[in-house]
Amino acid sequence: MNTLFRNLRFILKRFKLSTVLNLLGLSVAFTAFMMIVMQVWCDATFNTSISDAENIYMVYSKDKDGVDFTYISYPWAETIASMSHPEAQYVLYGDYGNNARTFYVEGNYIKEDNIGVSANFPEFFGFRMIAGGENCLEQENAVIVPESFALRYFGTADVVGKTVDRAGEIFISGVYKDFPANCFIRNILYSKIFISNDQMKNWGYNSFTMFIRAGNSLAEIERGTNLHLQQLNRKAGKQAFRTSFEFAGITELRYLEGVEGSPVAPVSTSMQLMLVSIAIAIILIASINYVNFANSLIPVRLQSINTQKILGATVRSLRGAIITESLLICLVSFFAALGLLALFAESPIAKLTEAGTAPAENMPAVALSFAVVIAVALIAGAIPAIRTTSYSPAVALKGNFGLSPAGKSIRTFVIGVQFFTSAALMIAALFMLLQRNYLTRSADYGFAKDELIVCDIGYPAQMPEDKNTVAEAVRRLPYVCSAALSWSTLGESDNTQGWVFQDINGDNVDPRTLFAEQDYLKTMGIELIEGRDISPRDTNVIIVNQLTRDKFPETVDVGRKLKFGDWYEVIGICENSKFSSLRSEAEPVLIVKMKDYPCSVLNVRVDAGTNMFDAMSGIREVLNSFDPEYAFELRFYDQILDETYQKESKLSSQITIFSLLAVFISIIGVFGLVMFDSQYRRREIAVRKVFGATTGGILKMFNKRYLLILAVSFVFAAVVAWIVVGRWLENFAYRISLNPLVCLAVFAALAAITAVTVSCQCLRIARSNPVESLRNE
Amino acid sequence: MCVIKTENLVKSFRTVEVETIAVDNLNLEVDKGEFVAIMGPSGCGKTTLLNILGLLDNPTSGKYFLNGEDVSTLNERDRTFLRRGKIGFIFQSFNLIDELTVYENIELPITYLKMAPALRKKMVNEIMERMAISHRAKHFPHQLSGGQQQRVAIARAVVLSPELILADEPTGNLDSKNGTEVMKILTELNNAGTTVVMVTHSRRDAEYARRTIEMFDGKISSVTMNHNIR
């Protein structure tokens, strides 16, 4: 053991920089590996913390265009549940994408998400109630809150009875234990869903997402439901739009892609596979670096090893000592990685993964990572252990053992793999960044995003019932050229509503539906092709986009009428703006002015050239004249789109960070390899200098080798990254084109970094007096 | 004409605790076409002297004139350029580069002079013929015997027909037969007009030289003219 620590001390003392870099590289690699494992584990165990998860299913449907969606009406929910005997338990969930509400807590306005759910929601999903019973949502105006919310705003979990609005009407009826991050049940406020009489009877009022506890009756329910649907569809004829019902287990929701309205942001299996590949690549690179580092020490340690052999140490004991060294180094790096993760847990880096980075909260991932680290230590330690103890003293004296062609090929291949990984990740990261910027800044949404300020005015208690009064007041500001109310914020969410209208023939007209008030097109800068914008006098009117007219050419046009209870006149045709995110193509849309529909998103267009921040202050002043205490949140479209594309931003950030990590680890690898090379080639360098090579010539020789490896690896990396990014971009209806200049830029950056690394490491030896190396004569 | 001339040449090595004088006020002249052997016990400074003569190192003080030019205080870059093509080196342990073939090892000095490939090829082939190692052109050093390796090293040293060859124990790692072979080659080169300065422990090898210089503690202790050259 003493010999072990003495050896370690010797290595640390003699090769300070290299040892520190090696430890750093291992620590960083283990940190990145663990973060990825935590994320993958989080996804793989999604929703498993919900009690009885294996028997709970989310109900979704397929429409005649093959689109999957969750929206369901109350009559349908009752029918589906009745298909099992006894009747299956179910809940309804009202997530419309924009769930942020303003509450008033302990004298402050706060913004928190609030979703309406069935009263039996807590009991259905096994909420662990700290305060309040499972029936706490039965009461009107009641909300239940997570423990974290209670502690954050009240400092205590004992908050039942406390109010969360200024009028003092909405009160906390229960506090539940927070759910883990890998669960679709978010730790937010839940209230009892409001179901109107109309919604109770109207089969077309598809406003909810349904979860059912089916268990053994799933087949029965599925069969009965679809049979019933077919019967209804036969009667409805052309008006039928739903073709089948499907049931997805909640433990599968994480991987269920393409279902509109799903409360779970899906993870694509290909993306998961990519993350796992990155994790494996990172560990591989770090292990290779470690092996290179250990190999570079062979000439230095050989004398000591051989002396110990002569004095009686067995090969087995020597190998054991070297492997134990490797274990110790890896364990030190592992614990350093745990420290880094704990440090990151409270930083923005933790937000890169849904699992967070706190080791204590991700023990299975930590345990798995520990097993991998031990495996790495054993394998990476065995290689130099066997090599170092395999040479006979005679060979050791010759000193040429490190330069066999096979050894050189392996090292070249290994550094090539590192370059390949770094280059591929960097190219992917850059393209993702460009795509993100395109989505949020430069893409054409079909409406004028600049000079727009948006504010939700629905919740302040002092606001007039008729929000047009507020809009009118804002319009009177000198720099405001137009203002319009809408129910939702354009381009913010993919969860738009789909109301089913009928034309004069009774056929369904069921595009996406947006609700808006006067001057909407003018305010949003959407081009009007025909007809007119919504005016203050209008009560029930519709503007359709060009795609809707193309889809229903016979029955949808200016002057025609559509029915949803009452008749609505089509007053205009507008351009095909992007009403939801750029992830999907532009769709047929109805912009509906419905009498008394609660539109409370205020969109304000200011004159070009106006100082936007001053404009924002002015608008805020007008709003505060109605409610002086409320903290209105005004946003520019840049902010809105940043939030819309958070998923892409997060992925882009993840890939960027991992690519930087891969580059960092690769450069450490290059550093180690150059150290190895220059150590073994000291004599060769000396001979070259004797025969006329300059310092610059020696540096050029080393750089040429590594840049050539980089160039070859880069070609493969560029091809792979091109294919992978191309496939990822197919998820977007609107996307950038793949530009080869990006690849060139990455190559230039990597070449520069490599050249600097190689030159810095080689400089000392390249400059050294050849006499020093040849002194061994 | 003097190829090499030193005046009060001193080379010392200083550490924190001690200063070692390896070459102590040494005055030496070597004429063009001369074959000089330098002998002395280990640590007497002969290799250090050879390194200075070969422009691999600068003296601490004193002067060194190479072909009449004062080269005592040149920087490393200037010494490298001056060395190219003018001075050939032969080492005791050959110092061939293991990753290069015999052909590439011999070609090495030429690569730093940016010659046309055809001329390069001609020069290398000629010297390989001369050293009777053409049949090994594509082999690597570890595939050759000691004698063959030293012949390659000599070929490398003389491929550019340098005016001066510095040999440090050229037969030290060879058996007597190969050693004799090497000494004969050096003699032939000398007879063709190349100045040869050789450091050796072997009296027998020194007998190939016209003049033998004995060194002791960094100084020249004696100079002997050899009238019975081998």
For residue B80, which residues of chain A lie inside 8 Å, CB to CB?
689, 692-694
Whether residue A60 is predicted with pLDDT greater than 60 in this model: the reply is: yes
When pLDDT is averaged across residues A406-415 and rounded to a whole number, the result is 76
Q: Give me B21's structure tokens.
A: 């004088």
3-state secondary structure of A101: strand
A725 beta partners: none
- Other CB atoms within 10 A of residue A598 CB: 11
Whole-angstrom Cα distance, residue B211 to residue B208? Answer: 9
pLDDT the model gives residue B14? 81
pLDDT the model gives residue A398? 46
pLDDT the model gives residue A584? 72
Give CA A473 to chain center in angstroms. Answer: 40
Whether residue B77 and residue A694 make contact (CB cut-off 8 A), yes or no, is yes
When pLDDT is averaged across residues A205-209 and rounded to a whole number, the result is 85
- pLDDT tens, residue by residue, A314-353: 788 888 888 988 898 899 999 999 998 888 887 777 776 7
Q: Could you tell me the pLDDT band of residue A401, with boundaries at 50, 70 and 90?
A: very low
Whole-angstrom Cα distance, residue A38 to residue A344? Answer: 14
Whether residue A44 is predicted with pLDDT greater than 50 in this model: the reply is: yes
Q: Give me B169's structure tokens.
A: 């124990």
When pLDDT is averaged across residues A69-95 and rounded to a whole number, the result is 88
Whether residue A582 is predicted with pLDDT greater than 80 in this model: the reply is: no
When pLDDT is averaged across residues A668-693 and rounded to a whole number, the result is 81
DSSP structure class, residue A666 = H
Whole-angstrom Cα distance, residue A187 to residue A148? Answer: 8
Whether residue A400 and residue B54 make contact (CB cut-off 8 A), yes or no, is no
Half-sphere exposure at residue A271, Cβ-oriented, CA atoms within 13 angstroms: 19
A483 beta partners: A604
Numbered residues of chain A with Cβ closer than 8 Å to any chain B Cβ:
400, 403, 408, 683-684, 686-695, 697, 767, 769-771, 774, 776-777
- pLDDT tens for each residue of chain B, 230 residues long: 789 999 999 999 887 788 888 899 999 999 999 999 999 998 888 889 998 999 988 899 999 999 999 999 888 888 888 888 889 999 888 888 887 899 999 998 888 888 899 999 999 999 999 888 999 999 998 899 988 999 999 999 999 989 999 999 988 888 888 889 889 999 999 999 999 999 998 899 999 999 999 999 999 999 999 877 76
The fraction of chain A above a pLDDT of 90, given in percent, is 33
Gyration radius (Cα) of chain B, Å: 18
The H-assigned helical ranges of B112-175 are 117-130, 146-158
3-state secondary structure of A327: helix
Identity of the residue in B95, B108, B142 whose CB atom sits nearest the CB atom of A683: B95
Whether residue A691 and residue B57 make contact (CB cut-off 8 A), yes or no, is no
Whole-angstrom Cα distance, residue B121 to residue B126? Answer: 8
Q: Mutual orientation of helices A646-680 and A695-729 as an angle, nearest 10°?
A: 150
Whether residue B91 and residue A777 make contact (CB cut-off 8 A), yes or no, is yes
User: Distance from B132 to chain A by nearest Cα, in Å?
Assistant: 22
Residue of B nearest to A399 (CA): B98
Whether residue A693 and residue B80 make contact (CB cut-off 8 A), yes or no, is yes
Whether residue B99 and residue A689 make contact (CB cut-off 8 A), yes or no, is no
Whole-angstrom Cα distance, residue A174 to residue A194? Answer: 19
Q: Could you tell me the pLDDT band of residue A391, with boundaries at 50, 70 and 90?
A: low
- Other CB atoms within 10 A of residue A519 CB: 21
The H-assigned helical ranges of A442-572 are 468-475, 520-524, 546-551
Whether residue A297 is predicted with pLDDT greater than 90 in this model: the reply is: no
User: Distance from A731 to chain B by nearest Cα, in Å?
Assistant: 51
Q: Give me A206's structure tokens.
A: 């598809």
3-state secondary structure of A120: coil
Contacts of A708 (CB under 8 A, 6+ apart): none
* Cα angle, residue A700 at apex, residues A695 and A702 outer, rounded to 5°: 100
The H-assigned helical ranges of B84-116 are 102-111
Whole-angstrom Cα distance, residue B87 to residue B56? Answer: 11
For residue B99, which residues of chain A lie inside 8 Å, CB to CB?
403, 408, 684
The structure tokens 């090898």 sit at: B205
Identity of the residue in B54, B80, B172 whose CB atom sits nearest the CB atom of A694: B80
Convert A292-301 to b/e letters by CB count within 10 Å (16 or more is b).
Answer: bbbbbbbbeb
Convert A349-367 to b/e letters by CB count within 10 Å (16 or more is b).
Answer: bbebbbbbbebeebeebbe
Q: What is the largest CA-CA distance in chain B?
A: 55
For residue B47, which residues of chain A lie inside 8 Å, CB to CB?
777
Whether residue A777 is predicted with pLDDT greater than 50 in this model: the reply is: no
Contacts of A59 (CB under 8 A, 6+ apart): A70, A72, A77, A80, A209, A210, A211, A212, A245, A246, A247
Whether residue B84 and residue A692 make contact (CB cut-off 8 A), yes or no, is yes
Give the CA dihedral A653, A657, A663, A668, nearest 10 degrees: 170
The structure tokens 């280059």 sit at: A423
What secondary structure does DSSP assign to A179-207, as a single string?
A: PPSSSSS-SSEEEEPP--HHHHH-TT---
Whether residue B83 and residue A688 make contact (CB cut-off 8 A), yes or no, is no
- pLDDT tens, residue by residue, A598-653: 888 999 999 988 999 999 999 999 999 998 877 788 998 888 877 777 777 777 77
Whole-angstrom Cα distance, residue A292 to residue A296? Answer: 6
pLDDT the model gives residue A389? 80
Q: How far is CA A27 from CA A329, A332, A333, A349, A416, in A?
A: 10, 8, 4, 16, 22
Whole-angstrom Cα distance, residue A686 to residue A678? Answer: 11
Residue of B nearest to A684 (CA): B97
Whether residue B95 and residue A687 make contact (CB cut-off 8 A), yes or no, is yes
- Other CB atoms within 10 A of residue A265 CB: 13
Whether residue A692 and residue B83 make contact (CB cut-off 8 A), yes or no, is yes
pLDDT the model gives residue A405? 67
- pLDDT tens, residue by residue, A423-460: 888 898 889 888 888 877 777 777 888 889 999 887 66
Q: How far is CA A682 from CA A674, A676, A685, B96, B101, in A?
A: 12, 10, 5, 12, 18
Residue of B nearest to A400 (CA): B98
When pLDDT is averaged across residues A738-761 and rounded to a whole number, the result is 91
Whole-angstrom Cα distance, residue B87 to residue B68? Answer: 15
When pLDDT is averaged across residues A523-541 and rounded to a whole number, the result is 93
A4-8, A88-92, A493-497: least confidently modelled range: A493-497
Q: Looking at the predicted complex, does its ipTM rise above 0.85?
A: no
Convert A455-464 to b/e letters by CB count within 10 Å (16 or more is b).
Answer: bbbbbbeebe
The full length of chain B comes to 230
Whether residue B112 and residue A693 make contact (CB cut-off 8 A), yes or no, is yes
Residue from A249, A438, A308 nearest A7 by CA? A308
User: Distance from B198 to chain A by nearest Cα, in Å?
Assistant: 15
pLDDT the model gives residue A761? 80
For residue B168, which residues of chain A lie inside 8 Å, CB to CB?
777
- pLDDT tens, residue by residue, A473-498: 999 999 999 999 998 888 776 656 66
Whether residue A403 and residue B98 make contact (CB cut-off 8 A), yes or no, is yes
Helix (H) or strand (E) holding B58: none
Residue of A nearest to B83 (CA): A692
